[in-house]
Structure 1
Amino acid sequence: MNYQVTTALIIGAGSGLSASIARLFAAEGMTIALAPRQVDKLSTLSEEIGAASFICDASKPDEVNELFNQVEQKLGVPTVVVYNPSLRIPGALIELDPIEVAKSLEITAYGGFLVAQAAAKQMLKLGSGAIFFTGASASVKGYPRSAPFAMGKFALRGLAQSIARELAPQNIHVAHFVIDGVIRSATRLEPPDKPDSFLDPDAIAQTYLNILRQPRSAWTYEVELRPWVEKF
């Protein structure tokens, strides 16, 4: 990192990984902007870390553009943007609803494009920045009965790979995080006979911070994260 990170915008903010990233970045002195689809769900987190909250459906171009305008006006241009949204539509191929599949792709991949485009427009003027995408096992391996999720995550990874090559020479760090496993939460704990089999969201957040701090002479484009007991 060869620039000052001051404002972090987390898209698709929720109570899991997004909250862990928000808390850690706030502890590092960053100003935090949270952008969930329903802002009331994060009122407690916003108060805890002093974050500003904005409502945004990341699959809507007008809402994404308005989000970035509002964040700039209130907090300044975000110097790091994290894209987390996705929508799983499980089911057998012949049973999938095409309309729901299209919605899944809009949220998982198309929204990533919209956010990256809006972020890049501001960061290019600033001369620096970072854009991070949260991927999954499905980013690199399509599972049965999960075609829409695989399509969306493959597309998001392709977007990240393409714009990393385009924007890195302009001092914008693009990175894609393959979360290969189940993320632990208050309602989703490891089976008693399989300790450490789920990923700790705070540990994942630490990796996001580590990647953000990398000197630009040795930037990481992609990193895979999985529990040490996971087979791959």
Structure 2
Amino acid sequence: MTSQAALIVGAGSGLSAALARALSKRGYKVVLAARNPDKLEQLVEETGALAVACDASDAKSVEALFEKIDQLDETLAVVVYNPSARAQGEFHTLDPDLVKNAIMVTAYGAFLVAQEAVKRMLITGTGMLLFTGASAGVKGFPRSAPFAMGKFALRGLCQSLARELHPKNIHIAHVVIDGGIDGTPQKGRFNEVDGEDNLLDPQQIAETYMHLMDQHRSTWSWEIELRPWVEKF
């Protein structure tokens, strides 16, 4: 059986690291793409992953990333898209350039990565694309229009891809992360309560991604929501 590769775009600490460990344990050759791959040195040593510099919002950079993957002995089987960007503030004060960047990273980058991945998966006749969404892709919050714009676009992309590609044996899944992830800088944005499990455990999120990968195609999910037990929705 041909060995397989798994690509994680927007790799870093927290969820990406948990996913890298889980995929490595399953025998995948993990490829970690990040703007600054130097920060991944410890994770690379731990998982045997390949770290590649990539700006997901730049078409040439994404093309170069996939060209490097093509040089591997492994077949690309799994792609995870994690990047997002924010531009917060009262709507009339938002910087248009920061808004553009938020949409380019969160949505346009997902399109670029998905397109390159799908080109290859259509040839092999199988594959899995996982996209990390947020509650902002389901409901827009005040002072956060750019993030909502990007995440709504990401969700729409995933829904469209699922309808087009599921019948071609390529599984698309959009994971709505509704709450703060433990161990990441963003966790401070969320109210913390006394007790346990008030933030999403990145290892448990990774386990859910693995479950999505294990689904039989007669019961594929295209979207799933994850939130702590104390999170209001």
Query: What is the CA-CA distance between 1:75 and the residue it aligns to?
Result: 4.3
For 2:27, what is the secondary structure of its paired residue? coil
Query: 1:181 maps to what in 2?
Result: 179
Q: Confirm whether residue 135 of structure 1 aligns to residue 137 of structure 2.
A: no
Aligned partners of 1:7 and 1:79 also within 8 Å: yes
Partner amino acid, structure 2, of 1:133: F
Counterparts of residues 216-227 of structure 1 (less than 5 Å): 216-227=217-228
Bigger Cα displacement from structure 2, 103-112 vs 63-72: 63-72
For 1:74, what is the secondary structure of its paired residue? coil
Query: What is the CA-CA distance between 1:5 and the residue it aligns to?
Result: 7.7
Aligned partners of 2:199 and 2:228 also within 8 Å: yes
For 2:75, what is the secondary structure of its paired residue? coil
Partner amino acid, structure 1, of 2:142: P
Query: 2:78 maps to what in 1?
Result: 80
How many Å separate the matches in 2 of 1:194 and 1:146? 29
Q: Deviations 1:86-123 (Å, cap 9, x if unpaired)?
A: 00111110000001100110000000000000000000
Partner amino acid, structure 1, of 2:218: S
Match among 9, 12, 16 for residue 10 of structure 2: 12
The answer for unaligned runs of 5 or more in structure 1 is none
Query: What is the CA-CA distance between 1:6 and the residue it aligns to?
Result: 2.1
Query: What is the CA-CA distance between 1:195 and the residue it aligns to?
Result: 2.7
Counterparts of residues 124-203 of structure 1 (less than 5 Å): 124-185=122-183, 188=187, 191=192, 193-203=194-204
The size of the alignment, in residue pairs, is: 230
How many Å separate the matches in 2 of 1:5 and 1:80? 12
How many Å separate the matches in 1 of 2:232 and 2:2? 38
Counterparts of residues 34-113 of structure 1 (less than 5 Å): 34-113=32-111
Query: What is the CA-CA distance between 1:30 and the residue it aligns to?
Result: 1.3
Counterparts of residues 199-210 of structure 1 (less than 5 Å): 199-210=200-211
Q: TM-score, normalised by structure 2?
A: 0.94
The answer for unaligned runs of 5 or more in structure 2 is none
Aligned partners of 1:31 and 1:75 also within 8 Å: no
Q: Confirm whether residue 229 of structure 1 aligns to residue 230 of structure 2.
A: yes
Q: CA RMSD in A?
A: 1.7
Query: What is the CA-CA distance between 1:196 and the residue it aligns to?
Result: 1.5
For 2:79, what is the secondary structure of its paired residue? strand
For 1:13, what is the secondary structure of its paired residue? coil
Q: Deviations 1:14-33 (Å, cap 9, x if unpaired)?
A: 11111111111111111100
Partner amino acid, structure 1, of 2:223: E
Query: 1:22 maps to what in 2?
Result: 20
Partner amino acid, structure 2, of 1:173: H
How many Å separate the matches in 2 of 1:221 and 1:214? 11
Q: State, as a whole percentage, how many aligned pairs show the same letter.
A: 55
Aligned partners of 1:77 and 1:123 also within 8 Å: no
Q: TM-score, normalised by structure 1?
A: 0.95
